C-alpha cells in the first residue's frame, strides 16, 4: 500500500532511496504518514485496539506448504454457496491455501523491495505459480522514474542562505526552480492571489485537498515550483497520482512556519531542485479466457518497501490472488479472468499505472470490473471500497455468511492499485483490513496475519465474481 493524494487519511507511504530512509528517519515517518495513492486518503476506520501501535497475540502459524486444491467441476457461472456448512468448509480451505502462500512470500522469499533483484525473483515465482495452474502468463516490463534525495532539496537564498531538509514528492516533475516564496494557504481556489504567482514558488499548507489539485492550481497561476509544509509536527512523504507540472517538495510544519515568519519580514528567495533516476520493474499477468468478450481484472501488488517481510503489505493480497487463481482455474465463466500482480506499487502505483496506460480503447471497453487486494490480513475485519453497486453485493453477502465486512467510511479510492483503474472509469472493489499499524515496518510478519481474514476475502471475492457472472 502506498501514501497518496487524499488528505487526512494516514495510509502508508514509501520511498525507494536508501539515503532517504536513513536521513529522514523513515521508519517513524512512514508510521506517521500511513494511509496519507498522494496517497493521503480520507479518514480510515480506526484500528480497533486502544494503543497507537497495538501488538495482539500472534496468530498460530500453520506448518504446511501451498498445495493444489481439488479442481471443481466446471460450471457456467459461480453459483452462490448453498449452505452455511459448505460455506465454512470452502472458506477454511481457501484460508489454509492463502496462508501458506503468505508464508512462502514473506518467509520463503522475504523482502521484495521495488526495483531490486528480490522483486524480480518474486515476479518469477508468481509466473511459475500461475503457469502451474494452466493460465496463459506473461510479464509486462516497465520503467520507473523515481525521485531521489541525492541532489534534491530546498535552499533559502535570500535574505540569509540556508538549506532545509526537504523531500521530493513522488511523481514530481524533475528540474530546478528559483523564485520568491509566496504563501497560498491550502491552495484552494480562493487562496491564490489575484495577481497570480508568475515567476514565484508557492508555499502551500498540506490538508483538505489533494497534492495534485494544490500544485496544478499553483502552476496554472504561474508558479515555477511548490513547497508543501506539513499540517502536523514533523515531515511527511507524499505522492501525485500523475506527474506534477512543476517541481514540488515537502518540508516539516516547523520549517514551514519558520519560512512564513521570514516572509512576514520581507521577500524570501528560494531554490527547489528535484532529481530523479530510473529503474526496471514488471507486472505479472495471468489470463484465462471466458465465453464472452468481457474481462474482470483481479489485482494486487507483490513488492514491498525496503527491508521488511511484507506479510500483510502485501503478501496477504498476493496470496488471495493466487488462491483465487487456483480456485477458478477449472471453472467456466462468461468473462475472461485476468490476474495481475503489480510491481513497484510502493513507489507510487507504477505497475497499475503502466498497465492502464497500455490499454487500447477496445481493451478498456472490455474490462467491466477490477478487484484489488491489498493489506487485508491483519485486524478483526475486512473493509471494502469502490463502486456502490458492487460493494452493496459484497456487504450483503458478508452479512449472509456472517463475515465481518464493512463499507469503508469516506474512501472512494486511493492508496493502492485500484485507483488507476477508477481514474479511467473502470468500476473497482478494494479489499483491505482494519489494522494497518504494522505495514512498512519490520513488524509486518506472518505472526500477525489472520488465516480467517484471508479466507473471508477470497470467499467474498468469489461472491462478487458470481454476481458479475449473473449480471
Nearest to 300 by CA among 286, 290, 279, 280: 286
Phi, psi of 323 (to 5 degrees): -65, -45
Pairing of strands 269-288, 136-158: antiparallel
91, 212, 345, 346: which one is catalytic?
345
Phi, psi of 254 (to 5 degrees): -60, -45
Nearest to 416 by CA among 398, 405, 430: 430
User: Catalytic annotation on 419?
Assistant: no
CA distance 246 to 270: 15
State the DSSP code for 375: S
- Within 360-461, strands assigned E span 367-373, 382-386, 405-407, 428-433
The CA-based diameter of the chain, rounded to the nearest angstrom, is 77
C-alpha cell at 219: 502552476
Residue appearing with cell numbers 504563501: 183
CA distance 29 to 40: 14
Q: Which helix (H) or strand (E) holds 100?
A: helix 84-103
Pairing of strands 382-386, 336-342: unpaired
Give the residue numbers marked as catalytic: 345
Amino acid at each position: 500500500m502506498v501514501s497518496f493524494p487524499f488528505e487526512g487519511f494516514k495510509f502508508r507511504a514509501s520511498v525507494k532511496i536508501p539515503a532517504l530512509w536513513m536521513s529522514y528517519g523513515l521508519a517513524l515517518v512512514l508510521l506517521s504518514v500511513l494511509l496519507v495513492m498522494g496517497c493521503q486518503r480520507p479518514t480510515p476506520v480506526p484500528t480497533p485496539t486502544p494503543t497507537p501501535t497495538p501488538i495482539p497475540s500472534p496468530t498460530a502459524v500453520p506448518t504446511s506448504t501451498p498445495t493444489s486444491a481439488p479442481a471443481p467441476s466446471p460450471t457456467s457461472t459461480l453459483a452462490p454457496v448453498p449452505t452455511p456448512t459448505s460455506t465454512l468448509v470452502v472458506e477454511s480451505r481457501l484460508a489454509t491455501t492463502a496462508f501458506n502462500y503468505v508464508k512462502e512470500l514473506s518467509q520463503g522469499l522475504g523482502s521484495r523491495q521495488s526495483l531490486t533483484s528480490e522483486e524480480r525473483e518474486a515476479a518469477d515465482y508468481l509466473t511459475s505459480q500461475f503457469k502451474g495452474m494452466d493460465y496463459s502468463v506473461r510479464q509486462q516490463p516497465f520503467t520507473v522514474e523515481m525521485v531521489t534525495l541525492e541532489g534534491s532539496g530546498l535552499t533559502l537564498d535570500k535574505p540569509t542562505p540556508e538549506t532545509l531538509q526537504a523531500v521530493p514528492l513522488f511523481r514530481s516533475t524533475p528540474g530546478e526552480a528559483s523564485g520568491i516564496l509566496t504563501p497560498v494557504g491550502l491552495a484552494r481556489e480562493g487562496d491564490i492571489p489575484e495577481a497570480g504567482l508568475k515567476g514565484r514558488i508557492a508555499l502551500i499548507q498540506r490538508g483538505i485537498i489533494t497534492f495534485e489539485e494544490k500544485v496544478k492550481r499553483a502552476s496554472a497561476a504561474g508558479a515555477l515550483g511548490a513547497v508543501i509544509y506539513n499540517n502536523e509536527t514533523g515531515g511527511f512523504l507524499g505522492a501525485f497520482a500523475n506527474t506534477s507540472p512543476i517541481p514540488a517538495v515537502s518540508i516539516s510544519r516547523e520549517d514551514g512556519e519558520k519560512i512564513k515568519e521570514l516572509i512576514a519580514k520581507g521577500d524570501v528567495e528560494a531554490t527547489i531542485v528535484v532529481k530523479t533516476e530510473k529503474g526496471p520493474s514488471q507486472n505479472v499477468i495471468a489470463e484465462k479466457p471466458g465465453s464472452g468478450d468481457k474481462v474482470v481484472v483481479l489485482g494486487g501488488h507483490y513488492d514491498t518497501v525496503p527491508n521488511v517481510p511484507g506479510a500483510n503489505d502485501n503478501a496477504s493480497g498476493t496470496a488471495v490472488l493466487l488462491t483465487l487463481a487456483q480456485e477458478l482455474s477449472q471453472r467456466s465463466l462468461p468473462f475472461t479472468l485476468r490476474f495481475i500482480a503489480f510491481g513497484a506499487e510502493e513507489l507510487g502505483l507504477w505497475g497499475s499505472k503502466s498497465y492502464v496506460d497500455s490499454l487500447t480503447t477496445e481493451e478498456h471497453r472490455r474490462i467491466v470490473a477490477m478487484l484489488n487486494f491489498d493489506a487485508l490480513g491483519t485486524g478483526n475485519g475486512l473493509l471494502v471500497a469502490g463502486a456502490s453497486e458492487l460493494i452493496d453485493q459484497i456487504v450483503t453477502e458478508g452479512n449472509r455468511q456472517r463475515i465481518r465486512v464493512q463499507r469503508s467510511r469516506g474512501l472512494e479510492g486511493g492508496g493502492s492499485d485500484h485507483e488507476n483503474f477508477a481514474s479511467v472509469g473502470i468500476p473497482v472493489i478494494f479489499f483491505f483490513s482494519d489494522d494497518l499499524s504494522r505495514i512498512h515496518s519490520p513488524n509486518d510478519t506472518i505472526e500477525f496475519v489472520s488465516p480467517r481474514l484471508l479466507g473471508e476475502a477470497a470467499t467474498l471475492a468469489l461472491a462478487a465474481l458470481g454476481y458479475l457472472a449473473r449480471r
